[in-house]
Chain A
């Protein structure tokens, strides 16, 4: 059974650009959550999607957005990148809200 797949693994972007990250959940999982991990702030919740609807959102500016497709794949977008957006972005999928399975993450570096 394939795990959670995040692409790309590594990304380098310039300040002011935008970026899109992708997450393919475990087959059958309809909930996808996104987290930002930084050394200073730790793991912070970005948002969660279930059946193409955003059900919950963390305390991040509107530059951070996401969506979920009918096949449960999810994307998150960050516009007008800032140096502080450099982080490991983790995606997790869940069948029904318990036992979240994480992907390996996308390491974003903003220069």
Chain B
């Protein structure tokens, strides 16, 4: 079945460092891909998305490119801030009779940014 694999955390960076969180997926159809962020005690917030191959999603300095050839959707940011400390989830939506209305999530990667 469909699945998402994220790099294990926690990831600890100094402020202004470059961030990469790896995400790879397995899907039978043509999925849409998402990155969500969760701050302590809160729900999930959509960070960015891409709906087809080679699309680049971007928001708040974060970027991710849908790479069908490597089945990847890695999250990047050029210069992280302390306020970016959170848990990041990669997810896919693969509409089909068995996957309607369903997001499949990776296990989440905790990012801690130190001043």
Contact = CB atoms under 8 A, between A and B. Distances in A.
Nearest to B89: A43
Interface in A26-85: 31, 33, 35, 42-43, 45, 48-50, 55-56, 58
**Residues of A contacting B: mostly:** strand
Contacts of A31: 101
Contact of A101 (B42, B46, B89): B46
Contacts of A21: none
Interface in B14-68: 32, 34, 36, 42-46, 49, 51
Nearest to A50: B101
A88 B107 CA distance: 15
Size class of the A contact interface (CB-based, 8 Å) = 20 to 34
A98 B46 CA distance: 11
Interface of A: 4, 6, 31, 33, 35, 42-43, 45, 48-50, 55-56, 58, 90, 92, 94, 97-105
Interface of B: 32, 34, 36, 42-46, 49, 51, 89, 93, 95, 98-108
